[in-house]
Structure 1
Amino acid sequence: MNYMIRLARAGDAQSLSAIRLQIDAETENLDREAGEDFMDEQAFGDLIEADSKAAHNLFLVAETEGKLVGFSRCEGSTLNRSKHKVTFGIAILKAYWGFGIGSEILHHAIQWADTHEITKITLNVLETNKKAILLYQKAGFEIEGCLKNDKRLADGSYYSTILMSRNT
């Protein structure tokens, strides 16, 4: 599959709103269910604009054949004690899992961090998302902690959130 990873643009806002809603309905790996914390085109447009101006933020999209199929953000802080770190998150349409898109987005985010004085990338991952945990470990992330019984999924059971980070 041919795809490209690029910076999000203002013109991506409508597509991002739609695919975020779709992704939320396709997986329980994220923090929200479909429709929760909905972001419309305007909200995504505002986020893209803000991220493009923030020195410690990065908003990437994955595109194939002119269609957005995933996105990722690194969100940093302007506080002096936290300027060295960002929080990373990624979401990809289920039909595009297994094509290396997540690995490529992660690679871009790490390269960006390494060239922007970011020495720590943190993320949260649901304990059941074994493929993601392995991906992050292969990229040098380590488990730093666990939030036990952190999420209640559709089956009614509680699952833990794994806290991971990459330090340089």
Structure 2
Amino acid sequence: MLITDNVKNTNNLTYTIRSAVEGDALALSELRLQIDGETENLDREPGEAFIDSEGFRSLIKADSESERNLFLVAETNGRLVGFSRCEGTDLKRFRHKVEFGVGVIKEYWGCGIGKQLLQQSISWADENGIKKMTLNVMEANESARKLYEKLGFEVEGILRNDKQLADGKYYNMLVMGRLNI
């Protein structure tokens, strides 16, 4: 699905939240690789589950045509600095929900971009009759967890020792959900 462009101004930064378009494919491939290398909060090591520009082009096209999916990007000064995606399913028993994921490059952490991507996704979900949004977050990622809770997400479960990081230790993941019923 597509949304209307939304221009934001925060902390002397102007950026646009908009639907991803096929022309973003190469930049998204590079952006995802960069984000994966800047944090262990996400699921992948740099280069794992790599999606090339053609893969992103296909994904963007499919998401743009789907009523259950939303692919957003954050752009400033002609540069993509973040993205988010809501993915649903056509299975009847699960058509009421989507799974949310987000990534922002480290240079722009703390600028409110991730929050705006999530808020835009929540608005889209509410306007389109989606009753539940879910996400997974590392229990140790306190800033992300607090943001999700502030926007109405609740912890629904804990996946114990679910992720192993570079330090060799295992970390819990939280399953969070937001209901609009």
Task: Tell me the TM-score normalized by structure 2.
Answer: 0.92
Residues 1:16 and 2:28 aligned together: yes
- Alignment root-mean-square deviation, CA: 0.5
Give the Cα–Cα distance (whole angstroms) in 2 for the partners of residues 78 and 104 of structure 1: 27
Select 2:124's aligned residue among 107, 112, 119. Answer: 112
- 2:9 aligns with none
Task: Tell me the TM-score normalized by structure 1.
Answer: 0.99
Gaps of 5+ in 1: none
Q: How many residues align?
A: 168
Give the letter aligned to residue 48 of structure 1: I
Give the letter aligned to residue 75 of structure 2: E
Select 2:83's aligned residue among 71, 95, 105. Answer: 71
Give the Cα–Cα distance (whole angstroms) in 2 for the partners of residues 126 and 44 of structure 1: 26
- 2:40 aligns with 28
The Cα offsets for residues 103-152 of structure 1, whole Å up to 9 and x where unpaired, read as 11111000000011100000000112111000000000000000000000
Describe the SS at the equivalent of 1:36.
coil
Give the Cα–Cα distance (whole angstroms) in 2 for the partners of residues 123 and 145 of structure 1: 11
Tell me: higher relative CO, structure 1 or 2? Use CA pairs within 8 A at least 6 residues apart.
1
Give the letter aligned to residue 76 of structure 1: G
- 2:145 aligns with 133
Gaps of 5+ in 2: 1-12
Give the Cα–Cα distance (whole angstroms) in 2 for the partners of residues 115 and 128 of structure 1: 32
